[in-house]
Structure 1
C-alpha cells in the first residue's frame, strides 16, 4: 500500500475558518478563487485535510493524549508534566485548559478544509471534468468532516455545525450551537453519502484514504454510540460480509499491528493516519509525539513517562495473554542493558509499548515516528458486530463467533499457538456477554484511543473511577459533568451565543 507524503502536497489554497481566530488565514499565497481548476486540485485539497489531522494539534498529541488520559487505562506518570494534562486525567479540567483550547480550533480547521474541498468539487461542472472522480472526492471530504464532527460531539455535546465553505468569517462570528441530535443527523448524512460514492478500495489500496468499507465502519460506530444496535449490527455485518472484496482481514500476529515497518502492508487497518518517519512540516504537521509521551524516561530511547498505566491495569491483565506482552513495556534497554520496570528512573510502572518500541524511522525519543495510526481496524468491526447483535438477539452463535475470531488471533503468540484466551462457550447470558465484549474491547483495543468512548456511551464512569474494582480511582468523577469537556472559555468570550457552558463547568 502506498504511503502518501501529505507534507509535500500543496495544502488547501484558500482561507481556513477557525472559531478561535475568526480571521482569514491564508494557507498559501494562491487566491482561493483561482485554485480549483481540475480533479487534481480538488484531490490536493482533500489530501490537505489529512495533513491537519496528522499533526501535533490533533492525532500527533492534543486530541489523542486527551482521549487516552481521560479513560481508565492510562494515568499520568511523570507528575512534572504540564498541569493541563493532569487536569484532563484527574477530572479537574476547566474551560481554560490548554488541551481543549487547542483541539477545538484544529478540529474546525480540518472541517473548514473539508468544506472547501467539497465546494471546489461542486464548482467544476464543465463537461471536461471527471464527475465520477469529483463525486468520490466529495464523498472522501464528507467522510473526513463526519469523522471530525463525531469526535467533537462526543467531546463537547452541542457544538456549532458548519457544512459549507466560509467566505466571510464575520458571518459566523455570532454563530450558535447546534444540538447533538442535529449534529448526528449531519454526520449520518455525510457517511451515508460516502457509502454510496466511495470506491470499494481506496486509491493504491492505501488505508490512509477511505473506502466504502470505511464509511460503513464509522457508521456502525456512530450507531453503536447512539444505541441504535440494529443499525450498528447491519453496518458492521456489511463490512464482515464483504471482507474479501474490501481486502480486510485480521493481522495474524498482533504485534505486527504496532510495528511501523509493517503497517503499510496490513489488511487490518480500515482508516489510518500515516506519519512519515523523521519528517516535519509547517504548522506542526507530521509531528507524532505519542511514542515519546508513552515511552520510558531514562531509557536508551528517551521517552517522557507522561501517559503511563497504573499498576492495577498491568497486574489485573492475565500474563497468558499475548496482547499484554505486546501492549506493555515492562522492561526496556537502559545503558544497553535490559532492565525491569522496577528500576525505571522516574515512574516505576510498566509503560505503553504499542507506539514506543517499534516506531520505525524516528528520532531518539520515538518522536516523528513512521507509525500508521489506525482510527479503525477490522478487529474493532468484529467486536462492534458482536456487541450490537447481542443487544438485538442475545448471545447467538454468530455473536460468539466474532469474539472467538479475535481470541483465535490472540492465541498466536509470535508464531506459536497457545491455549489462552479460550473461545467463548455457549450458555452465556446476554448481560454476561455484554460485559465480556466490553472487556474484550478494553484489552484488544488497549491504548488505541477507544476506551474513553466506551466508558462514556455505556455510562461506566462511576464503576470505572469510583467502584471497588477501579483500575484508576478518581473519587471526584461526576457523571453529570465529566462525560463532556467544557467549551473553551476563549470561544465563549468571543461569542456569547455559544452559551450555556456545559454542565458543571
Structure 2
C-alpha cells in the first residue's frame, strides 16, 4: 500500500467525470502495454487525469480551498468548521494536516495518469502528429499539476515517466524547485509545438497552444524571468483572434455555469458535471456550499468568507465587487442584507454560489467550469512583466486599462470607476497598481496566495498597517511553504528534511 498511496502508480482512477466536453468511460490501467491499443485508450488516460483534478481532493474543495484560505482575501467564517481548515487559514498547520495529506497523493495520481498516457502514446500505432498531440496534452497536465505542487511544498519528488515497479520509487528523493521548473518549461514548449490552436466546439477544458504559452507566461512571471513572461503573454495577445480569446462583455458571465462552455475569456478550465458523482470524491464540487451563506434559503456552510475589510475597502462603483460578493440573500423567503446572516454576518463570496447551473439545492455537484487561466490574466501578466523590463510604458498601461474598462461595464450603465491608469507613475507605483488590479480582477480564483508568495508580500499583507486579514504569527521563513505530509515522510525518509519550521 505504501507506494501505491504515494504515487498512484499501479492504477489510474478514471471514473472520468470531470469534463462535460469529453467522452466519459471508466478506465483501469495496470501497465501501459496491457491496456493501450488505440488513440482512444490514450485519451482515456488523459481524461482520467482530468477526472482526478475535478474531485473533492483537488478542484472540488481541498486544493482550491487551501489556496483561498492561505491568502488575505478569504478568512474562516464559521469557526465550527473542522480544525484542518482553520489551521491552514491561521498559519498553524503541521505535517498531519488533513488538507495537505489529501492534496499530495491525489496530485501524484494525476501525474501518474499523465505518465501512463505518454507511455501509451509511444506504444500505439498512429501517425507522429497524432502521437505528439496526445503526448503534448499529457505533458501539459503533468506540468500544470507540478506547478501547483512546487508552489505549495517546495522541493518534491519528480516522477517523469510511468513506473511499473513501485519499488523503483520507494526510496525516491526530492528534486529541487529549480530543476522541476526546468521540466515544466520543457513540457510547455513541447505542448506549444504540438497542441492545436483551438479544439472542436471551442472546448476550453483541454489545452491549446494558447494555453501552453499562457501557463509559460505565468511560470516565467513566478520565476522572475520578466522578458520571457512578457514574450509568451504577448504571443497570446497577438494571436488572440486565432485562438478566439478576448474579454467577455459582462464580468458575471465568467461565473455563470450556464454560460461557461466555450466562453472566449476562458483559456483553461476544470469542468464539473452537474449533479453527477463518480464515487471516491470524483466530480464532487463543494466550493458553492463552502462559500455560501449558512441559514439562507439556498443554503451554504459559511466556511471561506472574506473579512469585512475586503468588502469595505472595495469601491462599490466597480462592477466586479457586485459580482464577487453576496451581500444580501433570500432568507425565509425575504431578501435580507448580510447583517441578518445566521452565523457569519458579513458579505460572502458569490462567484461559485450564485449561478451553479445544474446543481443540488445547496449548489453542491455544480456544473461550474473552474477557470485556471483566463484572458484578463494574460493582459495583467503582460503589463506586470513589461513594467519590470521597460517601466510603465503606454503599452503596459493599455493592458490594465482593457481590464478596467470592462470593470466599469454594468449591465445597464457604465460607471466612472475604476478609472484608466494615468501616466506618470514610477515603476514601483505601477507594480503596486498591477498587484492591486490582480487582487480585485482575480479575487477568490485561487491566484492571490501565489501572488503573495512570489512577490514576498506576506509580512505586508498579514502584519502591515493596512492588512485585510491580520495574522501576527505569519513567519516568512516558514509559511510560504506547507509542511510535507508526515505519512509520506514516514514511508520514505529520503523525502526528509521536512520543510523549515515544521
Find 1:158's aligned residue among 155, 160, 168.
Answer: 155
Aligned to 2:55: 55
Where in structure 2 are the equivalents of 1:136-175 lying within 5 Å?
Answer: 136-175=133-172
Match of 2:315 among 318, 338, 341: 318
Secondary structure, counterpart of 1:273 in structure 2: strand
In the alignment, the residues of structure 2 paired with residue 483 and residue 96 of structure 1 have an alpha-carbon distance, to the nearest angstrom, of: 17
* Mapping of residues 234-273 of structure 1, within 5 Å: 234-273=231-270
Relative to 1, partners in 2 of residues 1:327 and 1:199: Cα closer, same or farther, differing over 3 Å?
A: same
Structure 1 CA distance for aligned equivalents of residues 323 and 193 of structure 2: 38
Task: Provide the C-alpha distance between the structure 1 equivalents of 2:29 and 2:262, rounded to a whole number of angstroms.
Answer: 36
CA distance in 2, matches of 1:189, 1:319: 44
Partner residue of 1:90?
Answer: 90
Instruction: Quote the offset at 1:23 in angstroms.
Output: 7.3
2:286 is aligned to 289
| Structure 1 pair 136–24 and aligned structure 2 pair: CA distance change class (3 A) | closer
User: CA RMSD of the aligned region, Å?
Assistant: 1.5
Q: What is the aligned counterpart of 1:329 among 299, 314, 326?
A: 326
SS where residue 244 of structure 1 aligns? helix
User: Is the contact made by 1:253 and 1:415 (CA closer than 8 Å) also made in structure 2?
Assistant: no
Report the secondary structure of 1:81's partner residue: coil
* Structure 2 partner of 1:200: 197
Contact 1:161 1:177 in 2 (8 A): yes
- Say yes or no: does 1:20 pair with 2:21: no
Deviation at 1:204, TM superposition (A): 2.9
Cα pair distance change 1:23/1:441, threshold 3 Å: closer
* Equivalent position SS for 1:110: helix
Q: Is the 8 A contact 2:201 2:262 kept in 1?
A: no
Quick one: distance in 2 between partners of 1:43 and 1:94? 38
TM-score (norm. length: structure 2): 0.95
Per-residue CA deviation, residues 447-485 of structure 1 (Å, 9 max, x unaligned), is 000000000000000001000100000000000000000
Match of 1:377 in 2: 374
Contact between 2:7 and 2:109, CA under 8 Å: does it hold in 1? Answer: no
Aligned match of 1:119: 119
The gaps in structure 1 that reach 5 residues or longer are 1-14
1:454 aligns with 2:451: yes
Greater CA drift, 456-465 or 44-53: 44-53
**C-alpha displacement of 1:260:** 0.6
- Normalised TM-score (structure 1): 0.95
CA 1:134–1:305 in 2, change beyond 3 Å: closer, same or farther?
same
Matches within 5 A, 1:358-369: 358-369=355-366
Q: Is the 8 A contact 1:18 1:106 kept in 2?
A: no
Would you say how many aligned residue pairs link Structure 1 and Structure 2? 488
> Would you say the 8 A contact 2:8–2:109 is kept in 1?
no
Q: Which residue of 1 aligns with 2:473?
A: 476
Q: Secondary structure at the match of 1:20?
A: helix
Partners of 1:247 and 1:430 in 2: how far apart? 32
CA distance in 2, matches of 1:288, 1:279: 10
Q: Deviations over 1:264-308 (max 9, x none)?
A: 141000000111111110221110000010000001111000000
Offset of residue 55 of structure 1: 0.5
- 1:497 corresponds in structure 2 to 494
Map 1:309-458 to 2 at 5 A. 309-458=306-455
Q: In 2, Cα distance between the equivalents of 1:219 and 1:476?
A: 34
- Equivalent in the alignment of 1:4: none
Question: Contact 1:16–1:26 (CA<8 Å) still a contact in 2?
Answer: no
Return closer, same or farther for 1:184/1:211 CA change in 2, 3 Å cut-off: same
Q: Which runs of 5+ in 2 are unaligned?
A: 14-26
Question: Using the alignment, how far apart are the partners of 1:115 and 1:464 within structure 2?
Answer: 39
